[in-house]
Amino acid sequence: MSPSAVRAQAPEALADFLRRLRLEVEGGLDPLSAAETAATAVPERLRGALEVLARRARGEYDEDEWGFDSDYAEAVYPVFEFLYDIWWRVEATGVRNVPAHGRGLLVSNHAGSLFPFDASMILGAIMKEHPLPRWARFMVLDWAFSLPFLSSFMRRVGGVPASPFNAIRLLRQEELVMAFPEGVKGTGKPFSERYRLQRFGRGGFVEVALRTGAPIIPVAVVGSEEIYPKLAESRILARAVGAPFVPITPTFPWLGAAGLIPLPSRWRIEFCEPIDLGGHGPDAAEDRRLVVDVSEQVRETIQQKLHTNLAQRPSAFL
Amino acid sequence: MVPTQLGFDPRLQLIHTDDATAALLAAIRNPVRGVVNVAPSGAISLSRTLRLARRPSLPVPHPLFESALTRLGDRLGTGALYGDAVRFLRFGRGVDNSRLIEEVGFEPASDAEATVRAFAASLRGRKLGPSLHPGTLVDRFAGASR
C-alpha cells in the first residue's frame, strides 16, 4: 500500500485504537495491558502498510542506477491521475503506437512555462490507456536538478538529466524514453506563440535513435500551453535564481504560491505512427543530411497533429 | 547523525575495498591507454545508503552546508577539495564502467548496493567512519600481489 493511503487511514485507526483502549480501561485493565489489547484492533491493512513504511525506513526497497524508485513513483501516481482525469480531462489517442516492450523514443512538443507537466501527462496516458502499461523515463533540463526537493523528486519518478549519453544508455537498457527537442525554447515561448513548434536543436534525438535502433514515436500534446500562459518574463528574477527564464503569468507571481496552481485547460495527446530507423544502422548517425531530414519529418508530423488536435478540442478550458 | 543537504539525494557509486585493490591489480596486468573509470555497476542514493547503514540523516539547507564545509576545508588547508565534496554530495555522479569491464577485463564483484550492504554489515554497533585509510590500502595491495 502506498504511504498516501496510510496517511488517509491513520486518523481512523487511531480513533479505533483510542476507543478500544477506553473500553478496556473501563473494564478494569491497567493502562499498559489495555494498550496491548487495543493494538490488536488496528486494522490488518494498516498494519501491512506500517510494515511497508518500516521496510522503507530500513532501506529495503528497489532503486535503479538512475535513482528511479518504483514504490515512490507508485505512491505519487494518484496525483498524476487526478491531474489527468479531473483537472485537465486528458483525451489520448494512438496509445497503441507506443511499443509494449523494448526501447522506444517518444518525441514531443514542450510547453508550460512555469512547470512543464507534459512529461507527466504523456506518462499518465501510457499508464492508463495502454494495454500493457509501462513507466517511461523523461529527459529533464539539467537546471531542474539544481533545485532542492524538485531534484530528488524528479529522480525518484523517472527524470534523468537531458543528454544524448543518458538517452542512449537508457535505450540500451530497453527503456521507453521521452525527449523534448525544443527544450527551454519550447517552454519559454510567449503565450502568443502557443503551439508553434520551435527549432529542434541540431536533431540530436535522431542521432540517439539511429545509434540505438530505437523507433521514434512523435507525440503531439495540446493543452499544456494554457496551464501557465506566459505573458512576459522577468530578467531580474531569472538572474536572481539562476533560471533560464522566469515567466510572468496572469496568476504568477501576483498570487504568490497560489499562482503555482496550473490553469485547468483541456488536454489532448496524440501518439503518432512510430518511425523505425533500424534499417539505417548505427553509423548512419554521422549522416548529417539523414539526421536533419528525419528531424524535420518528426517536427512536421507533430506540428500537423497539433493543428488537428487543436481543431478537435471543443474549447481550451471547458 | 549524518548531515545531508535538504532536498537533494545524490546517487553514489561506492566501490568495495576488495574491488578497488583488484582493479589496481587488473590494470597492472592489462594496461590500457587513457583514463579508465573504476566504479561499481549500478548506483545507490545517499538516503538509501544511510537507511541501510541505520544512520539517521540531518538535512541542512545547502547554503549552510556549503559554508560549513568550505570553512572546514579552509581550516584544514584543503579548500577546493571540500568545495567539490559539497557539489558531489548535492548532485551525486554516475560514471560508466564499461571500459573497465571490456578493455581492462575486470568486473567489480560487488555492485553499488552490495558494497553499501557489506559496509553496513561490518559497521553494526560501531561508529560511522572511514573503513579504510591509505595504510590499509597499501597493506592489502601488497598482500594481494604476493
Per run of 10 residues, the mean pLDDT along chain A (length 318 residues) is 55 74 77 71 70 86 94 94 96 97 97 93 97 96 92 95 96 97 93 94 94 97 96 91 90 89 96 95 95 96 97 91
CB pairs < 8 Å spanning A and B? 54
Strands A91-93 and B57-60: unpaired
Kindly state the cell numbers that stand for A119: 512529461
Q: Using a CB-CB distance cutoff of 8 angstroms, which residues of chain B are in contact with residue A145?
A: 91
pLDDT score of B145: 47
Band of residue B146 on the pLDDT scale cut at 50, 70, 90: very low
Which range among A145-149, A249-253, B79-83, B95-99 shows the weakest confidence by mean pLDDT?
Answer: B79-83
Strands B57-60 and B2-5: parallel
Nearest CB neighbour to A63, from listed B5, B6, B48: B48
pTM, to two decimals: 0.84
pLDDT score of A1: 45
Instruction: Looking at mean pLDDT, say which of A25-34, A50-59, B3-12, B134-143 comes out highest.
Output: B3-12
Say yes or no: A27 contacts chain B, CB-CB below 8 A.
no
Q: How far apart are CA A113 and CA A229, in angstroms?
A: 7
Strand order in the sheet with A137-140: A91-93, A268-271, A216-222, A104-108, A176-179, A137-140, A159-161
Nearest to A149 by CA among B63, B83, B94, B9: B9
**Residue of A56, A62, A64, A65 to mutate, interface with B, max B Cβ within 10 Å:** A65
Whether A133 contacts A176, CB under 8 Å: no
Say yes or no: A236 contacts chain B, CB-CB below 8 A.
no
Q: Taking CB atoms and an 8 Å limit, are B11 and A61 in contact across chains?
A: no
Q: How far apart are CA A192 and CA A249, in angstroms?
A: 12
